[in-house]
Amino acid sequence: MYAAAPRFALARALTAQSPREASGIVAESDGQVVGVAVFGLVAGAEGAAKMHGMAVAPEAQRHGIARGLIEAMVGELAVRGARFVLVEFPDAAELAGGRTLLQQAKFVEESRVKDYFRDGIALVFLRRDLTR
């Protein structure tokens, strides 16, 4: 239900249509891809970046892979001139683990749109400022 936008960004990253706006980093273990983060700069904005989505294979979860992907993404975006990274995140109970991960990775709630996805499910904007 919440995967349409991240899938679109992943397709753009895979085709390299706009690498500044959609690119990715993968995590591998024993020659297998176990995680991916898709991110990019926000077109037309100075210093604004966005994480479009991230996924880690179920068998590879709870091994620090997601945190490693986040830190690699943040580092790459800082090199590209980003001042902050924004994540649009559904405030749904089934995604609470992902929100907790982002908060542990220094993302804080910037704002929200109530009942965006459906009644009771807000769209939350999480932000992490980058230091240079």
- pLDDT means per 10 residues, the chain with 132 residues, are 57 62 89 92 93 91 94 95 95 93 96 95 96 65
Domain 4-129 = CATH 3.40.630.30: yes
Give kind and range of the element (H or E) at residue 13: helix 4-15
Phi (first) and psi of residue 37, to 5 degrees: -125, 135
**Is 28 strand, coil or helix?**
strand
Return the pLDDT at 131: 74
Q: Model-level pTM?
A: 0.83
pLDDT value at residue 65: 95
- pLDDT at res. 4: 58
Spans of all domains in the chain: 4-129
